[in-house]
Amino acid sequence: MSEDPGEEKRPRGAGAVTVTPYRDGPYLVRGDFVLQDQEGNELELERRTIALCRCGKSRIRPLCDGTHKLIGFEAPSGPEPWPRA
Amino acid sequence: MAARLIELPPPRGPLSEQLFEGLEGQPQTRLAAPGLIDCADPIADQDLQLALYVAYEIHYSGIRGVDERWEWAPSLLSFRGALERCFEEAIAELVAPAEAAELESVGAALQEIVAADPGPPLSRYMETQGTREQMLEHVVHRSAYQLKEADPHSWAIPRLSPGPKAALLEVQFDEYGGGSSERMHSVLFARTMESLGLDGTYGRYIDRWPGVTLAAVNLVTGFGLHRRRRGALVGHLAAFEMTSSIPNRRYGNALRRLGYGPEATHFYDEHVEADAVHENIAAWDLAGGLAAVEPEVAADILFGARALLQVEAHWGRHLMDSWERGETSLLSPLVPIAA
């Protein structure tokens, strides 16, 4: 079960922010964070936990819309092995 | 908003007739055991699914003229159990057993199961060709579940250990509007119905839902009401979330193509973004988390996911086959066909 993100990865206290890449999926961001563009304009968020696009093909970037499943996006949850064998 | 209260629909055969007649009496008067149940095709069985739906509905909602104490009347539970056994066996026949390798990573197995979704391309059809009448029918079918969206999965809450419980609540908090009833998904769906000229009242279309539509709701209610099926309930939620964001984008596009505005599409657009979050939590933190704590229910998690996809596939085929024949997919058409 080593690939299953467990409860340890959740924010422990107020103010803690965690970013979790999910296997073959987006980055989930939890905690007390602000999402803004490079001009500093804050993006209004509809929910406490958000998913940021990791495959680059979402139609609602920077958020995820599930498109990674259509394009066969694959990525581990943990770091990519580097340097590659 | 008024309290949930539904009307007893017209019965569709001996089982629903016997049940509804019994429910009009006092819970102390015993409901007799059902006669011989025809278990040939329980998923599409109008009578069996309606009887089961109403027997379950007592746990969700008031039923006009029915004493609330029926909810735990032993004779009703026994009557319901006979219907459940028939339905449960039919589902078990449709679902491939989990393989040992799948149980090693339930999250990865769920990804593969939903990637091999056996259902017809219903959302793609709706996005590109579906008519206004077909879209309205689709919404009316969906209202059987969407007006109580998230409710059956909440029955898992007291049964889970802290890790998977926190994951479930993270999803449910969002489903229930993050503290705002206006943003609750069931409320958003009612608003979509109203903006399409439909009636968003809970249970309003019960007499139009065919057996297969009722079966889709009965499946998750059955998982929810039996603690022993907590694995299946969690797997059902995971697969539901994992097959949601892309189809919902297409349904939103279908409504836009048909000329409807944001008021109608909001429910679908919201689900694109929301379920892209939920599916990861549900597959890995909730389902994977539950399998880590209770490995003995891991196979049932995958059963619940596969059962959802099989029943949804039956339902999707029913809609597309009906439309191909030029017929309504509901028990009676929404708009009377002009003479």
Q: How many contacts (CB atoms, under 8 Å) link A and B?
A: 100
Q: Using the beta-carbon criterion (under 8 Å), do B292 and A4 form an inter-chain contact?
A: yes
Q: Round to whole Å and give the CA distance between B255 and B96.
A: 36
Statement: residue A12 has pLDDT above 90: no
Looking at the complex, report in whole angstroms how far the Cα of residue A19 sits from the nearest Cα belonging to chain B. 13
Mean pLDDT (whole number) for A56-81: 95
Radius of gyration of chain B (CA): 19
The residue among A46, A35, A59, A65 whose CA lies nearest residue B275 is A65
> Rounded to two decimals, what is the model's pTM?
0.94
Statement: residue B339 has pLDDT above 80: no
Looking at the complex, report in whole angstroms how far the Cα of residue B140 sits from the nearest Cα belonging to chain A. 25
In chain A, where does DSSP find H-type helix? none
Of A7, A26, A47, the CB nearest to B274: A47
pLDDT in tens, A28-62: 999 999 999 999 999 999 899 999 999 999 999 99
H helix or E strand, kind and range, residue B28: none
| pLDDT reported for residue B129 | 97
B17-45 burial, b if ≥16 CB within 10 A, otherwise e?
Answer: ebbbebbeeebeeebeebeebeeeebbbb
Interface test with A, best of B273, B297, B301 (most A CBs within 10 A): B273
Q: Round to whole Å and give the CA distance between B148 and B221.
A: 11
Which residues in chain B are closer than 8 Å to A22, comparing Cβ atoms?
280, 284
pLDDT in tens, B182-241: 999 999 999 999 999 999 999 999 999 999 999 999 999 999 999 999 999 999 999 999
In B243-287, where does DSSP find H-type helix? 245-257, 262-280
Which residues in chain A are closer than 8 Å to B234, comparing Cβ atoms?
none
Q: Give the dihedral sign, CA B201/B205/B210/B211.
A: positive
